[in-house]
Chain A
């Protein structure tokens, strides 16, 4: 793999981990379902759908960017993404509303939808985009088709990040896929999603299990700092940095 991709991949992994920390993004839901059913298994069962929903939110964001990229050059697209991040960040700063969906009696499908909506509402996919685009930038020379995204970020077909292997295996898979002639950017988009979601799942899963098994919910009262507020600021900061990535 191009060593220039290490930095965006690292950023994507860390972003995923940061998403995972936020109780509003899923781990607390897993704990709650475990408590409701008085079952450790319920905590574990909640994790795959939560990760799947989160991954889908990333896939959709990348897919939308790819569509916009059909008509805009990569450099213009970066400005569009920066603008969207700025607007979204400012909005998150003044409002903490999110879609009304869910309850305490949810199946795996509903949990996936909830996680998708929650991640989308927090702009998770949007925030990942600059780093995906940065990676695409590094791919561009090897494609040699100018700077428009065209088909390069097109994500066709369903992508199931949960079906994918950990990051190292997935990156190995990327080489295989390239060898088979798959468009490089599809593979990059998939890799970005998988790496990000792996970061999310690792941290969210760890927190859910440790809180359920050991720590209990008392810590929530003090430790639940307003990550949405930090997140809003991070969205704005990313917006300002995006044109330079």
Chain B
């Protein structure tokens, strides 16, 4: 039923959204890597520092089926519903759509009336997803002005092309594959939009067959994983341009378009360079006016691999004698000023000032876990930690940054063969912009469960898209 006033979590512009009150709950995808007997779950973590249960799990809902492999998820509705050309201001931000990469199921969870006790209200079976869209392995979820958009990694055979599918935001009925024309696009992963420019940008990881059994060293060394991003026309639903990084760059993952809809640039994290195991962040940008101009891409951040004794490395890396940073996620504050870069391999979260997007400046860094370092959390300085900062989410006011340490179970096993003990922590961003790990926030998930993406109650830096500058 529609509401009388706009959902209070909707904000016309990113600037107004940064005035939002601090979140009190975080929703965390918890995956069960054994895949045996027990389903993945959505956890509810208390993030209110004044609460007795601060940094503790206060609720959990199990997915109905075993083996989903939860990864990313997202809201049914968000600030994009205030877009003037598709106004749906009175829909509630209420449901989380949680896809499973391995089952292709889309689990829909209701976070009301009790936000600490979410309930499953619908499951769109993987078979239905594939029948109606041709896609499998749904991944990123974004609430669009005119529907809910999900990326998907591949087709029914586990090959390409992957792409984007969309759902009706009232009924959660699948509308079909979103693209009318894929152009040269084959691999898929994340996507984001420039609503002010009627543009979608998508990235490339690999097809389901290339990723579900772990990273394939042969394919990797042959440079077969994704090494481009794609620009799409949001209105015509057509491919516009392919932006290549070069064959040595492997796996272009998270895309973070500028949050201000006027700006036509954004960042994409690239996991690995085959030349020296470095990771990088690239900037795409529009040169000239939309419609006539050209989209360009260039590398703006380089993070080198760190030399390491082979015996400290997992078998996959021993031959290289170095630990790669493995930039697996990045996130951008709502004011487009600070970019957070997760180095899951070296166990580091970096913060860059990207006020000038062409020339990012490293402003602070924090170490946690890491393949070699195993840096403890400051709250428990004697306990070495495994995994590393991976999924990173920023609060709307930009003052808190949440990180979790699991990537994707088949890949976790390759880079952290002794297993990953799941954790989630928080960093505080001081007035001067520098970040520091909160010693009082360390959520360790129940043994066997690993946290992945975090979504903050009421929205976060990467949930919402805006139509007003």
Contacts and interface: CB of A to CB of B under 8 A. Distances in A.
A105 B89 contact: no
B469 A35 contact: yes
A222 B4 CA distance: 10
B90 A28 contact: no
Determine the main DSSP class of B at the interface with A: loop
Contacts of B3: 226
B379 to A, nearest CB: 37
Contacts of B5: 222, 224-226
A221 B8 contact: yes
A214 interface: no
A173 interface: no
Interface string A84-117: 0000000000011110111111100000001000
A23 B16 contact: no
Contact of B11 (A29, A221, A228): A221
B290 interface: yes
A35 B195 CA distance: 13
Contacts of A38: 262, 469
B115 interface: no
Q: How many interface residues does chain A have, given as a range?
A: 20 to 34
Interface stretch (B79-87, B241-249, B334-342, B364-372): B79-87
A170 interface: no
B469 A105 contact: no
Contacts of A23: 84, 87, 89
Interface string A220-243: 111011101100000000000000
A221 to B, nearest CB: 6
B392 interface: no
A83 interface: no
A36 interface: yes
B412 interface: no
A36 B196 contact: yes
Given A36-B261, A38-B262, A104-B196, A229 B87 contact: no
B2 A32 contact: no
A218 B170 CA distance: 26
A57 interface: no
B198 interface: yes
B16 A217 contact: yes
A5 interface: no
A34 B425 CA distance: 41
A96 B291 contact: no
Contact of A35 (B11, B85, B468): B468
Contacts of B16: 217-218, 221
Given A38-B262, A226-B90, A229-B4, A32 B84 contact: yes
A24 interface: yes
Contact of A100 (B6, B10, B86): B86
A31 interface: yes
A217 B14 CA distance: 12
A225 B3 CA distance: 9
Contact of B84 (A28, A98, A105, A218): A28
Nearest to B175: A100
Interface string B79-112: 0001111111111000000000000000000000
Interface in B355-403: none
B85 A228 contact: no
A139 to B, nearest CB: 38
A229 B89 CA distance: 12
A218 B12 CA distance: 7
B197 interface: yes
A104 B198 contact: yes
A229 B87 CA distance: 14
Interface in A6-38: 23-24, 28-29, 31-32, 35-36, 38
Given A35-B469, A95-B170, A225-B5, A104 B90 contact: no
Interface string B322-364: 0000000000000000000000000000000000000000000
Contacts of A102: 85-86, 235
B167 interface: no
Nearest to A37: B262
Contact of A32 (B8, B11, B468): B468
B146 interface: yes
B469 A29 contact: no
Given A36-B469, A38-B262, A217-B468, A96 B2 contact: yes
B32 interface: no
A145 B91 CA distance: 51
Give me the 10 closest cross-chain CB pairs, A-B, nearest first: A102-B85, A103-B198, A29-B84, A217-B12, A24-B87, A28-B84, A32-B84, A35-B469, A103-B235, A226-B90
26 contacts: A23-B87, A28-B87, A29-B85, A35-B468, A35-B469, A36-B196, A36-B262, A36-B469, A96-B2, A96-B90, A98-B86, A100-B86, A100-B146, A100-B147, A101-B85, A102-B86, A104-B198, A217-B12, A217-B13, A220-B89, A221-B8, A221-B10, A224-B5, A224-B89, A226-B90, A229-B90
Interface of A: 23-24, 28-29, 31-32, 35-36, 38, 95-98, 100-106, 114, 217-218, 220-222, 224-226, 228-229
Given A31-B468, A220-B82, 15 more contacts: A23-B87, A32-B85, A35-B13, A35-B469, A38-B469, A96-B90, A96-B170, A101-B85, A103-B234, A104-B83, A104-B195, A105-B290, A217-B13, A221-B6, A224-B6
